[in-house]
Amino acid sequence: MFPIPVQRDFSLRHLNTFGIDAKAAVYLPVDDVDTLLAVKNDKELSMLPRLVLGGGSNLLLTQDFAGLVLHMRGAGMRIVNEDEDFVYVTAAAGENWHRFVQWSLDLGLGGLENLSLIPGSVGAAPIQNIGAYGVEVKDRFHSLTAFDFIDGKTFTLGNAACRFAYRDSIFKQELRDRAVVLDVTFALPKQWQANMNYADVMQELSPRQITVPSPRDIAGAVIAIRTRKLPDPAQIGNAGSFFKNPIVPAQQRESLLAQHPQLVSYAQPDGGYKLAAGWLIDQCGWKGRSLGAAGVYEKQALVLVNKGGASGREIAALAQAIQADVQAKFGVKLEPEPVFI
């Protein structure tokens, strides 16, 4: 007998931060690896298309999902080891990311503070290689444990094996639809150094007269910035930054800079330049505009919002219109961050 009863025609409205009212043909909460193994061994469930759901903050449901939604709910956070340089902390995939970051800070451990208030779950963080204010998950990531639907076994991957890139990892490539993250371990440095490469963070700390910030100080600054600039998904449906910041060759950046002297760009280690997608969208006049119930947030052009009752297809149509305008004006292709279902 299946250990946890599945639910059919299950509404996902409260499990995605856009608040899209789409349904899963079959829904199953997952609290442990035994549930995943039971799915693999079940004749009906093992044949269904699978969607692994964490916090639902990097997802755009454009239709009902005609398969099995596995909702990762495993909880738990703990210190697992330490050496001369690092303290190693592990969190279950279903843990809320921001809660985990704040827990680590409460223990006096720095390293994740720049990633405060990013919505989503711990398990999704390495898949997307989330990042903000000069820090990415890969910078603090040690290893993870995952379940393989092919052989029904768990396995461990270290940092290099995850092949992290900008908002990318092996879980969006070869291991997509095959592996499910169970828990993630981070190496937090004992000799912590503040990362204040972004001017916004320094500007937030300056009025507080904080010149030598602690990890908690930087977390507070990041939380204040994000609260001011980004809408709360509990109040207005959104998935945070909707588009990746495009990376272009130096020559293309120079050409764009000649035409648009105010272009916002950041040098990359490979010689290319990352362009601020929000600035590109704003220059095309989209900030604060709407198409039906789908809109662009008035305080940050990089954020698309559900103004009430929007469908996933309406939000996708808005995204396509923005992409077309940015391509036409700047010759730059914007790539969405959320996964379209």
Active site residues per annotation: 167, 241, 337
Q: Rounded CA gap, 169 and 163, in Å?
A: 5
The whole-angstrom separation of Cα 13 and Cα 27 is 13
- Give residue for tokens 């000799």: 191
Rounded CA-CA distance 284/124 in Å is 32
Structure token digits, residue 195: 């990362």
**Measured between alpha carbons, how far is 138 from 129 in angstroms, rounded to an integer?**
6
Burial class of residue 148 (count of CB atoms within 10 Å of its CB; 0-12, 13-18, 19+): middle
* Residue 301, phi then psi, degrees to nearest 5: -70, -15
Instruction: Answer whether 15's CB lies under 8 Å from 58's CB.
Output: no
